[in-house]
Structure 1
Amino acid sequence: MSELTYDDFKSRVNIQDLLVDAGYRLNRRDGMRYPSYVRIGSDGKRVHGDKFIVTANGLCCFQPPERKNYNVISFIKEHPNLFAEYRPGMSGDRLVNLVCNRLLNNPVNDRVPRDFGRQRETRSFDIYEYETQGFINGDWESQKRFYPYFQNRGISLQTQRAFSDHFFLATRERGGKTYTNLSFPLSLAAWPGKDIVGLEERSRPNADGKTAYKGMAAGSNAAEGLWIARLENNRSDMGFTRPIDKAKDVYWFESAFDAMAFYQLKMNEPGNVGFHDLSNAVYVSTGGSPTKKQFSSMIEHTPEAIHHLCFDRDRAGRMFAVNFALQKEGRVFTSHLSPDKERLVVTDMTKGVKRHELSMEPFDFKDICERLGIDRRGIGYEPCDERYKDWNDQLLDKPMNNEETQTKGMRR
C-alpha cells in the first residue's frame, strides 16, 4: 500500500472518531444542532469549559468561545499530549502519521531505533517468548548471575534482595542469536503484577562498563504499562497480594535503577529521618518519558497516596514533574520545551485556552504550581541533589555537567 497523504487522512479519518480517541465523549444531552464532545473528569462529571463542537460540514471542530476550526491534522498537531503515540520532541508530522494510520488500521513501518538498529515489533508483548531466571533469596547461585548488571550501578546486594521479586533475567532468541537482559516487568495500575505487558530492559555492561542497550522489550505497552514495585512479599510477575489502592506513598522515577538507588541511599541515611517506611511504599518507573495515561492510571488507583516526584534533574525531568501536577489536578493541557530549552510552554485548555511560558532556570516547582493555580497537596517534588542528574548518579557520586541538564528527546 502506498503511503497515505494529508488529504487521505482528512477525507478518511472522521473528526468525531478522533475526538473519541483523544478522550472526549459525545454529549447527547447538549440539545444542539451539531454534535458536541466533552471531557469527563475522574469524578464522573463534565470538565467545565472543555468541549469541542463539530462543524456543519462534519470535517472540523472548534472549542467555544473561540471559532478556530481544527481538522484532523491541525487537531493532532496542536493537541499532541492527548494521544498515546506522543513523545517529547516528536515532530507533528510523525505524530499525525502514527495516529491517523492507527485509526485507519493501517500498519506503519517504524523507524529503526538507535539501540543496535533493532526493528520494533507491532504485535503485543508475550512473556512466554522469553526464558526467565529469578533472583532467589537464599540461593547464592541464582544471585551471582545478576552481579554484572548491578555492579556498575552501585546497587548493593542488600538492595537487590529487597527488590528481588520485581526483576529477573529474560532470555530470547532473535535472528539466530540469544540475548539476555536484566528485565523489570511492566504491568497496569489496575492490575499490578497480574499481567505483564512489557519489560524495561538493560543489557549486561560492555568491557568499558557501560550499558550497551537500554529500552523496552518488543511489543511492550509503554503508553500505559509501569514498573510497579512494592516490597511486602509482592511479586511483579504473579500479582500483588496486597492492593495498591490504600498505598500511602508512591515514588516516581524514570528508571527502575533510580528507584533502587533512591531506596539504598535513604535506607542508609542515619535514622532515615524525614521519610516514611520505605518498605511499605510503592515504587514506580515510567521507563523513560512518562505518558499521561501512565500518570492518570496510577493517580486513579492510589487515591489516598502522597506522590513523590523523583524524576531526573534535567529539564525534561522538570517538565515531567509539572505535567504530573497538571494531570493530578485534572487539567486538559499540552506542554513542551521551547527550542532553546530555556522555557516550559504550557497550554491549559481546561477552561478556555491559557498559554503560559515558564522559566526553567532557576526551577522552582512550588512557584510554577502557584503560577498555574495547581493545588500541590498530595505531591512532593523530591529530585536528587542538585549536583547530579538522577538518583543512580548520586549513588555513584557522578556529578552532571552542563550538557546533561538539557532535555532528552528519546525514551531511555
Structure 2
Amino acid sequence: MPDYKVNFKELKARVGVTDVAYALGYRLDRKAGVGRYIELVLGDGREKRDTLIVSHPNDRASQTFFRRDGSKGDVLTLIRENMDAFLVTGKDDWQKVAKVMARFANMPEPEYNDDREYVKSVRAASAFDISRYEVKQIDMERIPRIFHQRGLSDETVRQFAPFVFLIRDRRNGNFDGYNIGFPYTDTDNQVKGYEVRGYGGYKSKAAGTDSSSAAWVADFSGGNPEAVRCVFFCESAFDAMAFHQMNRNQLHPDVALVSLGGTFSDNQITGVMNRFPNAKAFDCFDNDIAGRIYGLRMIGLLEGIPMKISKTEGYLQVEAGGKNFTVNPGKALPSQLAAHLPVHYRTGQWLPPKAFKDWNDCLLNKPVAPVLVPRKEERDRNLAERRKGNLKM
C-alpha cells in the first residue's frame, strides 16, 4: 500500500467500518442481535440492497466485514467499493482513500450516534452464559403456532423435539415471552448458544453464541454417530426441518441435519463432520449465489482442496490446484469440479427445486418471483426504437 503521508493504521483506529457504512446510509438491524457481530443493512423491508456483517462493533481498529455472498474486507475496502459516493480527487484509488479516511477522522459524531449507543449498551458477551436463559421443552399438546406458519407438521415438530426448545432471555426488558431456541453444540455436545426465532420474522442468536465452531445438529442416530451416513447442511434450522419433512420417505432413519445459522465457518463444517466419521456431507443451502459459494467452500474443506472463489457475470470463478476455471451455479458442483480437480465425492448436493430460494419456501410453496424475459420480437422492437432514438440525437 503506498504511503501518502497518511498512517492508515493510525486512521483505522479512529475510523471503522461502521463509521463509513452509517455515512453511506446503512443502518443497524437490531432484530439480527448484537454480539461479536452486528448486521448493517442498506434499505429496508423487501428493498434491502445490501447487508454487511461487521465484527468487533465496539473496536474500530479491529473491524472487518463480510457478506453472505463471500465478499469481505475492512474499512478501506468499503471506501474503495463506494468511491463515487465521496467527492475526492487523487492520483489513484489509494490517495483518494487516504483523503476519505482523513476526512472521517476529523468528523464529529453524526446522527447515527443512536445506533452506536445501542450497540455499546448491549455489551457483546464474550462467552455464552447459559444461566441468562430460561429453557424448557416444547409441550406437544400446545405446539407453538410459529411452526404451523412455517408449514411444519405436528409430526415433524415431535421428531425434532429433542433438538428444539422454548427459550426466554431473563435480561431482555422489552420482551418477557419465549422464543424458539435451536441449541448450538460443539464436538463434546455441550451447548454453546442458541439460534433464536420468533413471530414476525424475528431472528437472532443468544448472547455469546459460538458461531465459529458450534452449530445446531439434529442427530437421529440415537446416540450412535458412526451409524450416520448422510449429514445435511442448511442455512437455518427451519430449512432443515422443512427438508426433512419433504424428503423423509427417501431418507435413512439414521441421518443428521445441521443449521449454520445463516453464516459459514470452516470450523463449523469440519467440527460437525468429525462427529460423524462415516458420513457424507450434503449441500442443502439456499438457491442463490451465497448458497453456491457455501457449497463450494464445503467441498474445498472436506476434499482438502484450498479454493479462492469470486463472482463473475453469471458464473463463479474458482482458483484451486494451480488451475483457474468457471463454475455454473445452476449445475451440480461436485461433477463440475471433478473435471478439473481430484474430487473424491465426500460431498453431495440436495438443493431446493430451482423455483424456490430455500427448503422452507419450497414447503410453503412460495416460489421466487420469475424474471420475465422479453420475447425475441419484443427485443428486436426495443432495439430498433433505441437505434432510432440514437439517430435523432
TM-score normalised to structure 2 length: 0.62
Q: How does 1:270-289 map to 2 (within 5 A)?
A: 272=249, 275-277=250-252, 279-289=253-263
Change in Cα spacing, 1:374 to 1:302, as seen in structure 2 (3 Å) is farther
1:226–1:286: 8 Å Cα contact kept in structure 2?
yes
1:170 corresponds, among 167, 172, 182, to: 167
- Structure with the largest fraction of helix: 2
Task: Output the CA distance in 2 between the equivalents of 1:314 and 1:112.
Answer: 30
Aligned-residue offset at 1:118: 9.1
Query: Which has more radius of gyration?
Result: 2
CA contact (8 A) 1:369 1:376 kept: no
State the secondary structure of the residue aligned to 1:191: coil
Matched, 1:358 2:327: yes
In structure 2, the residue matched to 1:256 is 237
Aligned to 1:343: 315
- CA contact 1:250–1:284 (8 Å) conserved in 2: yes
| Cα separation, partners in 2 of 1:388 and 1:112, compared to 1, 3 Å | farther
Mapped contact 1:226–1:285 kept (Cα < 8 A): yes
1:271-310 aligned at under 5 Å gives the runs: 272=249, 275-277=250-252, 279-310=253-284
Partner residue of 2:128 out of 111, 125, 128: 125
Match of 2:9 among 7, 10, 34: 7
Q: Which has the higher contact order (CA 8 A, sep 6+)?
A: 1
Alignment deviations for residues 71-124 of structure 1 (CA, whole Å, 9 cap, x no partner): xxxxxxxxxxxxx98554554115999xxxxxxxxxxxxx969x9999571421
Deviates more, 1:249-258 or 1:223-232: 223-232
Judge conservation of contact 2:134–2:170 (CA < 8 Å) in 1: no
Partner of 1:387: 355
Mark the CA change 1:218 to 1:358 in structure 2 (over 3 Å): closer, same or farther.
same
Query: 2:368 corresponds to which residue?
Result: 400
Question: Do the aligned residues in 2 keep the contact of 1:228 with 1:284 (CA within 8 Å)?
Answer: yes
Residues 128-186 of structure 1: CA deviation (Å, up to 9, x unaligned):
1011121245xx2xxx1x42221210101111000001011111144522353211000
Q: Is 1:196 paired with 2:170?
A: no
The CA distance in 1 between the partners of 2:315 and 2:241, in whole Å, is 31
Structure 2 residue 152 is matched with structure 1 residue 149 = no
Does structure 2 retain, via aligned residues, the 8 Å contact 1:309–1:379?
yes
Q: Give structure 1 regions of 4+ aligned residues with deviation exceeding 3 angstroms.
A: 5-10, 84-91, 94-97, 115-120, 353-357
- 1:226 paired with 2:194, answer no
Alpha-carbon offset, residue 388 of structure 1: 1.1
Partner of 1:16: none
Is the CA contact (8 Å cut-off) linking 1:326 and 1:374 kept in structure 2? no
Inter-partner Cα distance in structure 1 for 2:65 and 2:279: 28
Deviations 1:278-316 (A, max 9, x none): x31111111113211111222333221122221111121
Please give the alpha-carbon distance, in whole angstroms, between the structure 1 residues aligned to 2:76 and 2:165: 34
Give the 5 Å matches for 1:235-250: 242-250=223-231
> What is the letter of the counterpart of residue 252 of structure 1?
F
Q: CA deviation at 1:376?
A: 4.5
1:330 aligns with 2:328: no
After the TM superposition, which residues 50-199 of structure 1 pair with which residues of structure 2 at under 5 Å, given as runs?
88=68, 89=70, 91-94=72-75, 119=122, 121-137=124-140, 140=141, 144=142, 146-174=143-171, 176-179=173-176, 180-188=178-186, 190-192=187-189, 195-199=190-194
**8 Å contact 2:193–2:206 — kept in the other structure?**
yes
Q: Which residue of 1 aligns with 2:246?
A: 265
- Residues in 1 aligned to 2:214 and 2:65: alpha-carbon distance in whole angstroms: 14
Q: Which amino acid aligns with 2:319?
A: T
Task: State the 1:127 CA deviation.
Answer: 1.8
Please, what TM-score do these two structures have when normalized by structure 1? 0.60
CA RMSD of aligned residues (A): 3.4
- For 2:238 and 2:121, locate their aligned partners in 1 and report how far apart those are by CA, in whole Å: 23
Cα distance in 2 for residues equivalent to 1:393 and 1:281 = 22
CA drift of 1:243 comes to 4.6
Residue correspondences, number = 277
Does the 8 Å CA contact 1:85/1:95 hold for their aligned counterparts? no
2: CA distance, partners of 1:95 / 1:198: 32
Distance 1:175 1:304 in 2: 42
Q: Distance between the aligned counterparts of 2:280 and 2:149, measured in 1?
A: 32
Task: Give the aligned partner of residue 286 of structure 2.
Answer: 312
Q: Secondary structure at the match of 1:178?
A: coil
